[in-house]
Amino acid sequence: MAKLFIFGIGGTGSRVIKSLTMLLASGIKSFNDFDIIPIIIDPHKDNEDLKRTVSILDHYQKIKDKIGTNNEFFGTKITTLQSLDSKRRMGGTYSFTLKAVSNTKFKDYFSYSSLNDENKSLAELLFSGKSIDTNKKEIDLLDIPMDIGFVGNPNIGSVVLNQFRDSDEFKDFANNFSEGDRIFIISSIFGGTGAAGFPIVLKNIRNAVNNKELANGGYLQNSAIGALTVLPYFNIETDKDSPIKRGDFIEKTKAALGYYQNNVNPILNAMYYVGDDYSGKPYKNDAGQGGQKNDAHFIEIAGALAIIDFMNTDSDSLLCEGGKPLLNICKEYSIKEDAALLNFKHLNDYSNTILRRNLVQFTLFKKYLDKQFEQSIGNKTWSTDTPAIDHSFKNNQFFNSNLKSFLKAYEDWLTELNQNSRGFAPFNLSSDINTTVNGFEMSKSMFGLGKFDFDKFDMELNRTVRNEVYSSADQKLIQLFFKATSAIVSNRYGF
């Protein structure tokens, strides 16, 4: 199976990977099957977006390991870089470990005190300016603590992230990269970590053939590389004590785009741009001290769609010679109708083709587990047929820990999308099952089926279970509900 290595840089990288994971859990797949290997690069280890994404990925991987192959929900394999090693098979982390940043100021990172006077003056010139420390006191950039990120300063990030080239993770990545594998890089363009990390990661991959310590340098030099550049897409609170200013986003974006045009785009196979100028509910102005826990945003779903589009791109369009793509693809994203609160009817046809059906199925699956599962297990045919899904099943680790935790994260994700501004509210999780999908109501007359309820849901599950063979109760739950919800969506929504 070909692999897609996804480098998620900074908080935006984590949030896009989280949205992608939700889409993959719903059964969305690429035309060209890939195993997904996320590698998150973020010096801010207390970043709540990073921690939430890693937790979601861990639950997904454990669910996938239990249900095996030939499933639609959780159908795409997601794994850590380290688990690709045949000697390890399991374990590892999704996060790239930056060395020498914990409890370290920037000037100590590059041994400022050991420099001579001339080099100290040069460092002070290159990194002049002020920032805010964890106590909201003004400090020189040289005194920024490294473990809260780069506080919107890509010039600092570029120095620290250069260690990527010599890291164990980069060597593991190169050792496990094969012909036909692909690479995707996610970053924001208006912050510090993403804007600094993207060019560094890209250039080190293209120049891997010159690094004698790396395996598969030729494959990496001519690999198919796509990238998502996230332009400003959210508002932030005004805080005179914070170094993060909304007004700086556009200027930083313009400067970075100018650099990308000449130094980045020519060596990329495909560049995807997303952003939003809708000035809605501001995020908390958190330079890093508060953990940076941002609500999910629709732009992150658009970013996940870019990754799926890249996976779907024909290999003949992604060829390289000598590290130079034969074709440079650039794409932007748009919605069909502008609205402060989006649902499926506001999206373009391409998005609905990919998103709508699978997300509706997955949401119906969750709603059944929340509202009806307890009443039906043990007395419905779909539950009692071997392998049985009974009351003891509810207490196993697969269901009670991994699946329930993942579905709770899915609910939180949908809630945050709904409450954000610009918002995305495709579902009403608290409504009657007939009005779960905002903008659509289940058909009452199609094929004379009458009003849909959980009894009819159970009838569909009973009908479906007769035609399937399952390897375990865990696998049965996932596959049975995908098949049943597929029939329900076809019959009741017609899409």
Domain ranges of the chain: 3-98+151-333, 105-144, 346-492
- Indicate whether 240 pLDDT > 60: no
pLDDT, tens only, 404-440: 999 999 999 999 999 998 899 999 999 999 999 999 9
More confident residue, 418 or 233: 418
Q: Hey, what CATH class is 3-98+151-333 in?
A: alpha beta
> Measuring CA to CA, which residue among 289, 282, 238 is closest to residue 132?
289
Q: How many CA atoms lie within 13 A of 162 on its CB side?
A: 8
Query: Locate tokens 């058909």: which residue?
Result: 443
Q: In this structure, are residues 74 and 64 in contact, taking their beta carbons and an 8 Å threshold? A: yes
Question: pLDDT (tens digit, 9 = 90+) per residue, 197-215?
Answer: 888 899 989 999 998 888 8
Tell which residue, 36, 154, 60, 117, has the closest CA to residue 410.
Answer: 60
pLDDT at position 377 is 96
Reported as a single tens digit per residue, the pLDDT across 438-491 is 999 888 654 556 889 999 999 999 999 998 899 999 999 999 999 999 999 999
Q: What is residue 136's predicted lDDT score, i.e. its pLDDT?
A: 56
Edge-first strand listing for the sheet containing 270-274: 95-96, 35-41, 3-9, 182-188, 224-230, 270-274, 329-332
Q: How confident is residue 3, by pLDDT bands cut at 50, 70 and 90?
A: very high
pTM: 0.89
Distance CA 267, CA 327 (A): 10
Q: What is the dihedral of CA 280, 284, 287, 288, to 10 degrees?
A: -130
Q: What is the average pLDDT value for the chain, to the nearest integer?
A: 86
Mean pLDDT throughout 247-260? Answer: 77
Query: Does pLDDT of 245 surpass 70?
Result: no
**Distance (Å, rounded) from C-alpha 479 to C-alpha 456?**
18
Condensed to tens digits (0 to 9), the pLDDT of residues 104-139 reads: 776 766 677 788 888 878 777 766 665 555 555 666
Rg (CA), the chain: 24
CA distance 77 to 124: 47
For strand 138-140 and strand 130-132, is the pairing parallel, antiparallel, or unpaired?
A: antiparallel
- Is the pLDDT at 28 greater than 90, yes or no? yes
The predicted structure's pLDDT at residue 288: 47
Averaged pLDDT for residues 35-43: 91
State residue 383's pLDDT score: 98
What proportions of the chain, in percent to the nearest 5, are helix, strand and coil? Answer: 50, 15, 40
